[in-house]
Amino acid sequence: MLKAGPVWAVGTMSGTSLDGVDAAMVLTDGERILDFGRTDYRPYTPEESRLLRAALGRWPGEPGVEAATEIVETAHAEVLVGMTDARLIGFHGQTLAHDPQGEHGARRTHQAGSGQVLAEVLGRPVVWDFRSNDVEMGGQGAPLAPFFHFACAKWAGLAAPVAFLNLGGVGNLTWVDPRAPAPEAPGAVLAFDTGPANAPVNDLMRARRGAERDEGGALALSGRVDEGIVERFLADPWFLRMPPKSLDRNAFHDLLRAVHDLSDADAAATLTACAAAAVARGFEHFPEAPAALYVAGGGRLNEALMVQIARRVNCPVAPVEDLGLDGDMLEAQAFGYLAVRVARGLPTSGPTTTGVAALVGGGQISAPG
């Protein structure tokens, strides 16, 4: 347990885009955000990304997982070694598989990488394995950033409900009421995955053009949306499920077959519209209309996606930079913040964020030696 008062923590995030590791420092007491510190990024090499992608959907002990784990641990150690001002490290790891429903056996989630290994290498305590406790207690294990989003709204001085949207491989929404005293208070937050975001477009670009993404949404902007495909996408039972709810990165992979006969531009435009329509459908679950939607993650740099979202929701849409936040590092900062909450015995998720039956604190703490 940490002593009372603010501490500098560094959090890391390696998302489903498999492009690299973000690291970001935050000064927090586990409740308030006092300041943000330095950030860093360690990209995966093309070969590392290939091996990580080959391990997606696999569980500990299966082929390719050991090699993926070594890549994850090495990359994180390299990006963290210089951040010596941080007293505590929040290590998310790399999600390879996520099955909170137990559709293939036991309920489980798999983030590659050992916090104990990093603690030994870096000589500092590491908080890790943030999701397992939540899943074991009946929660979805995701999303985990909502309590941090609440702290961000407080830090920004917001006085009315807003929504935060993260656009990674999967999209997730957090509705926040900053008038509440704490994120675990009744009615303070509601969070859930919206549906696929960048993943289908990235997979399309890789398959058809050998590119990692539709840079800036340029290809989608040149195409026409097939609204029939969007309507059939929205008919999936997923959108009828009440939140909280979460998705694996490869959910809705059939979307690529749905756009098989479209041109590259029309396929990109249609998949982008599907991601935006999923976000708009998520607004139906909010208890109160948000004053604004603030967007983080790589998807906020996709003009086509941002335009489509703005067309489909009834509130202003802006990148989180409009609040003074860093949209590239928000998730990494979240795990620094959550690490301090774990170390202080505070909850990291609850019934309205992951669907777990009661407030729960996730994470193991590994000390060097």
Instruction: Give pLDDT tens digits along the chain (369 positions).
Output: 577 799 999 999 998 778 899 999 999 999 999 999 999 999 999 999 999 999 999 999 999 999 999 999 999 999 999 999 999 999 999 999 988 888 777 889 999 999 999 999 999 999 999 999 999 999 999 899 999 999 999 999 999 999 999 998 899 999 999 999 999 999 999 999 999 999 999 999 999 999 989 999 999 999 999 999 999 999 999 999 999 888 877 788 889 999 999 999 999 999 999 999 999 999 999 999 999 999 999 999 999 999 999 999 999 999 999 999 999 999 999 999 999 999 999 999 999 999 999 999 999 999 998
CA distances (Å), 234 to each of 116, 179, 280, 311, in order? 43, 33, 11, 16
Q: Which domains does the chain have, with CATH numbers?
A: 7-141+329-366 (3.30.420.40), 157-323 (3.30.420.40)
> 183 — phi, psi (to 5°)?
-65, -25
Give the distance from CA 95 to its chain's centroid: 10
Supply the pTM of this predicted model. 0.94
Contact between 161 and 292 (Cβ < 8 Å): no
Q: Where are the alpha helices (DSSP H) in the chain?
A: 46-54, 65-80, 115-122, 132-136, 146-155, 198-209, 218-221, 227-234, 255-258, 264-282, 303-312, 330-343
Whether residue 147 contacts residue 183, with contact meaning beta carbons closer than 8 Å, is answered with: yes
244-283 as b/e: b if 16+ CB within 10 A = bbbbbbbbbeebbebbeebebbbbbbbbbbbbbbbbbbbb
The span from the CA of 150 to the CA of 164, in Å, is: 9
Contact residues for 333 (Cβ-Cβ < 8 A; gap 6+): 11, 24, 25, 26, 36, 148, 326
Shortest CA distance to 184 belongs to which of 155, 158, 146?
146
Angle, CA of 273, 174 and 18, to the nearest 5°? 60
Do 18 and 168 meet the contact criterion of CB atoms below 8 Å apart?
no
Give me 23's structure tokens: 């690291």
Contact 124, 368 (CB under 8 A): yes
